[in-house]
């Protein structure tokens, strides 16, 4: 990989690993085509103990966002309260009262999916479409997140790279340092260390733990949103394509290593995997409790359901992923 020439490297990877046309010219769901009914049955059969884990960070004002590109933390406001009910401000009959609330937030402020309309390459969106034909002022009119609202459920696999390769000086299970680039060799080494239940293949929903989220919970958010982070190396594009996974999620803000591996670049792995592979990318997930359980019982596969809120035309959406073992 030539660190000085991101344009050429991105073009090479895009040409080598593209899924454009693979599922037809009209396809709008990309790699989720690989998550079929048989894969969902396979995932459902993994439930043995019935223990469930939410993989979502909280959605509140104490979040990681600092205003970059107008991304802020959620603002939660009550519309009706218990006090209103006590003082009979609501005007309901026979003593009934209630509470209502509203949330204002960017759709990618906490645990979320990147949709296929989120990233373009030289003005082109997934499946070779013109970006301007896909996302307009009315939203993503082609690959909006609502197109996959009922699809993201199946076999989940955790690769706890932080535990396998990082240091555990604080009892969190291991953490990779900021700037650590996870290569295909690191992913394969983690699979080998964890055993056969962590094999990754077609249609799987892959969760990668780096341990950065653990560090932020101990030390504070700092520059979690957009700053230095461990993450996937640009060199993993081929690994992800070869395994034909349906989606991938990490516990970091941006999925790939930061600073990025080229001298001048911004999220080059995004530029390959979203508009060319059609891969769904999850960010800011919270896998620590699940990871501890996987380490304890040695089983790193599970049923995972991670349906995005189907905001019509959205290029990304919040999600509360649930893993069940």
User: Three-class SS string for 46-68?
Assistant: CCCCCCEEECECCCCCCCCCCCH
Give the mean pLDDT of 283-292: 98
Taking the C-alpha atoms of residue 133 and residue 140, their distance in angstroms, rounded to an integer, is 9
pLDDT tens digit string along 78-123? 999 999 999 999 999 999 999 999 999 999 999 999 999 999 999 9
pLDDT tens digit string along 190-234? 999 999 999 999 999 999 999 999 999 999 999 999 999 999 999
- For 125, the token pair is 């969106």
CA distances from 195 to 140, 158, 162, 191, 300 (A): 41, 11, 16, 6, 8
What domains does the chain contain, in order, with CATH numbers? 6-68+106-324 (3.50.30.50), 76-104 (no CATH)
Q: Could you say which DSSP state residue 43 is in?
A: H
Taking the C-alpha atoms of residue 160 and residue 173, their distance in angstroms, rounded to an integer, is 9
- Three-class SS state of 304: strand
pLDDT of residue 25: 97
Cα angle 24, 267, 208 (rounded to 5 degrees) comes to: 80
Q: Whole-number mean pLDDT of the chain?
A: 97
Q: Where are the alpha helices (DSSP H) in 136-205?
A: 161-165, 184-194
pLDDT of residue 42: 97
- For 254, the token pair is 């941006």
Taking the C-alpha atoms of residue 47 and residue 210, their distance in angstroms, rounded to an integer, is 25
Range with lowest mean pLDDT among 50-54, 88-92, 241-245: 88-92
- Three-class SS state of 45: coil
pLDDT tens digit string along 127-162? 999 999 999 999 999 999 999 999 999 999 999 999
């Amino acid at each position: 990989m030539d660190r000085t020439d991101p344009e050429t490297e991105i073009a090479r990877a895009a040409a080598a690993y593209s899924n454009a046309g693979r599922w037809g010219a009209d396809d709008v769901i990309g790699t989720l085509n690989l998550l079929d009914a048989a894969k969902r049955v396979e995932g459902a059969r993994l439930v043995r103990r019935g223990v469930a884990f939410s993989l979502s960070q909280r959605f509140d004002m104490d979040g990681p966002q600092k205003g970059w590109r107008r991304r802020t933390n959620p603002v939660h406001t009550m519309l009706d309260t218990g006090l209103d009910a006590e003082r009979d401000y609501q005007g309901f009959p026979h003593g009934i009262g209630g509470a209502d609330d509203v949330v204002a937030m960017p759709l990618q402020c906490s645990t979320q999916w990147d949709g296929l309309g989120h990233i373009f390459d030289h003005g082109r969106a997934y499946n070779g479409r013109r970006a301007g034909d896909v996302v307009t002022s009315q939203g993503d009119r082609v690959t909006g997140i609502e197109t996959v609202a009922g699809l993201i459920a199946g076999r989940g696999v955790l690769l706890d790279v932080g535990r396998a390769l990082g240091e555990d000086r604080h009892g969190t299970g291991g953490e990779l340092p900021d700037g650590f680039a996870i290569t295909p060799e690191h992913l394969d080494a983690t699979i080998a260390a964890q055993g056969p239940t962590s094999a990754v293949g077609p249609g799987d929903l892959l969760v990668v733990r780096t341990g950065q989220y653990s560090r932020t919970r101990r030390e504070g958010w700092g520059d979690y949103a957009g700053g230095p982070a461990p993450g996937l190396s640009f060199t993993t594009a081929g690994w992800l394509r070869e395994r034909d996974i349906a989606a991938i999620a990490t516990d970091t803000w941006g999925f790939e290593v930061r600073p990025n591996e080229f001298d001048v670049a911004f999220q080059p792995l995004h530029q390959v995997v979203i508009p060319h592979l059609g891969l769904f990318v999850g960010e800011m997930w919270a896998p620590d409790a699940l990871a501890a359980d996987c380490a304890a019982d040695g089983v790193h596969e599970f049923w995972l359901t991670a349906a995005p809120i189907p905001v019509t035309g959205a290029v990304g959406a919040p999600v509360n992923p649930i893993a069940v073992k």
